[in-house]
Amino acid sequence: MPVTDTSSAVDLCRFIDSSPSPYHAVEEAVLRLTAAGFSESGQDEEAPAPGRHLVRSGGALVAWADEGRSPYAPLRIVGAHTDSPNLRLKPKPDRSSAGCRQVGVEVYGGALLNSWVDRDLGFSGRLVLRSDDGVRVVLVRDDRPVARIPQLAVHLDPGVNEKGLVLNPQVHLSPVLGAGTAQDGDFATMAAVAAGLDPDEVLAFDVMFHDLTPSRLVGIREDMVSAPRIDNLLSCHAGTEALIAAAEGHGPVPVLALFDHEEVGSISSTGAAGPLLERTLRRFVGLDARPIGDSVVFSVDGAHATHPNYPERHDPEHRILLDGGPVLKFNARERYATDAVGAGIVRLAAERAGVDLQSFVSRSDMACGSTIGPATAAVLGIRTVDLGVAQLAMHSARELCGSADPARLRDLLVELFNS
């Protein structure tokens, strides 16, 4: 399938670079949605008149467009997640060793640890500040190269190229911030200054490191996207753009659900296994009056492309190609939620949209990852289909996908919203 449209991939790069943390990803989605006429409501407000609306909570967001739709119309829900594996600051991170100022981190999600060494790192997230009414939250982002995790020199680790790099998260992953001795509160002060705030106002923080290399099109024909957090900001971007495109209509009600904490199991107030989506649909969208049997959830997340250097790690009858079109994902143990009826719905929509599809299943002797799909299906009791875009280097600090597939996924989601 030839490369035909990379404009969506270029916009995806902008979206990713604006979204170093889940909180920034939600902020970027809100900016795009409000520019398209969506209005934000608080979680405790009364249900607004039908229209274009959104509700956010931390690193999660639910948006919908019900103007001109019947109160009994079914739902078409596109779900994705805003979080990605990374390194997150501990509550008291400041430490020193061998004349270097460092910070302590926890590994968030199933990160490929080796991909975080020898990279220039910035930090982002949210700060919680004291206020007259209790606490308030502000976003923080510092794109200066303030930290780096240096790998041990090959001379001091003989055989590393034969045995592989082994990293202990507690011992080997503390980023270096500079020379000297760290004092308690140094990082909190640096974060406050980066946000233009008084350090004495900071009560707590949720902050993580991010790779500073810009997202870009790569390859001899620029037919690949090299970027951090493709899993799963690609799906967040496609879902946001598809909802904007499908906002005017008279059929099913299109809903976008961007969850947090998928990489650590989805069990949280803003995760797919939590109450946010169901509560929002009941309070604002009239879930109980809508036909469950005709509604569908589309869990949109990254899919494993067949790795050219490790083809034996994939099922031989299910080769998945970069830029081969969106991928339907199947698993007999319900790690993906797709069934035959759901697959048929997506395949019909793909035919109408002129988009090719691929089908993924893991080798029978290898474990399968999971998505928000099973959790969302269990919470809502609505048929759920797992699909996404093929990528390489999943869970690396730097991932790779085809540059035409983001547009194909967006077009497919528009058709699924409207069908």
Q: Residue 416 is encoded by which pair of tokens?
A: 């699924």
The residues that bridge with 227 in the sheet, in sequence order, are 399
pLDDT of residue 105: 98
Q: How many other CB atoms are found less than 10 A from the CB of residue 178?
A: 11
Phi, psi torsion values for 116, nearest 5 degrees: -95, -10
pLDDT of residue 131: 87
Which residues fall within 8 angstroms of residue 332, CB to CB, at 6 or more apart? Answer: none
pLDDT of residue 1: 40
Please state the CATH superfamily assignment of the domain spanning residues 7-84+228-418 in this structure.
Zn peptidases (3.40.630.10)
- Say how many residues make up the chain: 419
Phi, psi torsion values for 187, nearest 5 degrees: -70, -40
First to last CA, the chain: 25
Which pLDDT tens digit goes with each residue over 281-309? 999 999 999 999 999 999 999 999 999 99
> Is the Cα dihedral 384, 25, 28, 213 positive or negative?
negative
The residues that bridge with 248 in the sheet, in sequence order, are none
pLDDT of residue 4: 58
SS (H, E, C) 362-387: CCCCCCCCCCCHHHHHHHHCCCEEEE
Q: 86-211: what CATH class?
A: mainly beta
pLDDT of residue 419: 85
CB 50 within 8 A of CB 67: yes
Residue ranges of the domains in the chain? 7-84+228-418, 86-211
pLDDT of residue 224: 97
Low-confidence ranges of the chain (pLDDT < 70): 1-4
pLDDT of residue 262: 97
Which pLDDT tens digit goes with each residue over 367-385? 888 999 999 999 999 999 9
